[in-house]
Amino acid sequence: MRSTAATLFVSLLALSLSVGAVSAQTVDGGRGSLPLQVPESYDGDSAVPLVVTLHGYTSSGAGIESYMQYGDLVDSHGFLLVSPDGTRESGGDNNRFWNASKACCNFMDSTVDDSAYVLAIINAVKSEYNVDPKRVYLIGHSNGGFMAYRAAYDHSNTIAAMVSLAGAASTVDRAAPANPVHVLQIHGTDDATIGYEGREIGGNAYPGAVATVERWAGYNGCAGEGTAGGTRDLESEITGAETTATRYVSACTAGGSSELWSIAGGSHVPSLSSTFNREVIGWLFAHPKP
C-alpha cells in the first residue's frame, strides 16, 4: 500500500502535468521554440482566438510586446498570443527583419520565406490548442505591418483580420487575394520613417496610408468612398482625441472591410495611450471570418 507521502507526490505530479498540458508556453513554427501566452481560462474545450504580433525592423518579438503590451490582455480577453522573431541579416548590424515587400525590409536579398513561416506558426499553435479558425489575427508594426499585409494576402483563407501600425501594402498592386480580409491601418501623419503619404525605400515605392486602405477596400469589394468613423485617443503625448477613423464598409464582400486610423501629428513610434491595445484587440475581435 502506498504511503501518504507517495500518494501525495503522484497526485501533485499528475496535477502539474495536467496544468502543463493546458498552459504550455512555447510553440515551434520550424525555427525553434517561441513563447506562447495562454489565458488562464483556457480549458481546451472552447475555441479561442489567436493573435500573432510582428515586430519592426531591428526589433524583436519581446520588443513589440514591451511596446504594445498585448500580453496584459490575454487573460481578460481570452486569447492565445505569440510574438515571433524575424531572422537576422547576414551582414552589417545583423538586424532582425521580415522579408515582407520589395521596399521593407529585406536589404540584403535574403531568400527567407517569412510568409510561410507566419502560417507555420499559426498551424503549430492550431495543432496543440483549440484555436477558433474564424478568429486568427495579425498585428504588425512598421516592417511587421508590411509583413502582416503580405501574410494576410498570401493566407487570406486563414487570416480573419490584421492591423498595421506604420506599415504599408506591397509595392505592387496585384489581383485581389482569394478571400476577403478585414484590414486596419494605423498611421501617424508625421511619420518620418514610413511616410503617411507614401515614399520609397531603395528605389522601391510603397503606398501611403490612404492608398493602402483604399487598395484593400477594393480587394474586399467595398463600394464608395470612406466615411468618418469617429475619433480616438491613441497617442498619450498628444492632447485630446487626436486620431480620426475612416471606414470602408459599404457593400463589402462578407468577411472583408478596410479602415484607417490617422494619428494627427503622430510619429513612426507613437507614445501609445493606455487604451491603445484594448482598442486594437476590440477592433480585431469585432471582425471574425463569416
| Predicted structure pTM score | 0.91
- DSSP class per residue in the chain: ---HHHHHHHHHHHHHHHHHHHH--EEESSSSEEEEE--TT--SSS-EEEEEEEPPTT--HHHHHHHH-GGGGHHHHT-EEE-PPPEEPSSTT--EE---BTTTB-TT-----HHHHHHHHHHHHHHHS-EEEEEEEEEEETHHHHHHHHHHHHTTTT--EEEEES----SS--SPPSS--EEEEEEETT-SSS-TTEEEETTEEEE-HHHHHHHHHHHTT--S--EEEEEE--BTTS-S--EEEEEE-TTPPTT-EEEEEEETT--SS--B-TTHHHHHHHHHHT----
Which tens digits make up the pLDDT trace of 219-230?
999 998 999 999
Bond prior to 104 in cis (omega within 30° of 0): no
Domain residue spans in the chain? Answer: 24-285
Residue with cell 487573460: 75
CA atoms within 13 A on the CB side of 46: 10
pLDDT tens-place string over residues 169-205 = 999 999 999 999 999 999 999 999 999 999 999 999 9
216 within 8 A of 258, measured Cβ to Cβ: yes
Torsion angle, alpha carbons of 36, 40, 45, 47, to 10: -60
Q: What is the pLDDT of residue 5?
A: 39
In terms of DSSP bridges, do strands 80-82 and 87-88 run parallel, antiparallel, or are they unpaired?
A: unpaired
Which of 155, 22, 29 is closest to 82 using CA atoms? 29
Q: Is residue 117 within 8 Å of residue 85, measured between CB atoms?
A: no
Instruction: Assign 18 a pLDDT band (cuts: 50, 70, 90).
Output: very low
The span from the CA of 271 to the CA of 232, in Å, is 14
Give the integer Cα–Cα distance in Å for 131 and 143.
Answer: 26
Grid coordinates of 241: 482625441
pLDDT band at 8 (very low <50, low <70, confident <90, very high): very low
Asked whether residue 74 carries a pLDDT value surpassing 90, the answer given is yes
- pLDDT digit string, tens, across residues 241-271: 999 999 999 999 999 999 999 999 999 999 9
Lowest mean pLDDT among 3-17, 20-34, 123-137, 215-229: 3-17
Task: Tell me the per-residue pLDDT of 84-114, one tens digit each, with 9 for 90 and over.
Answer: 999 999 999 999 999 999 999 999 999 999 9
Residue 11: predicted pLDDT: 37
Top-tier CATH class for 24-285: alpha beta
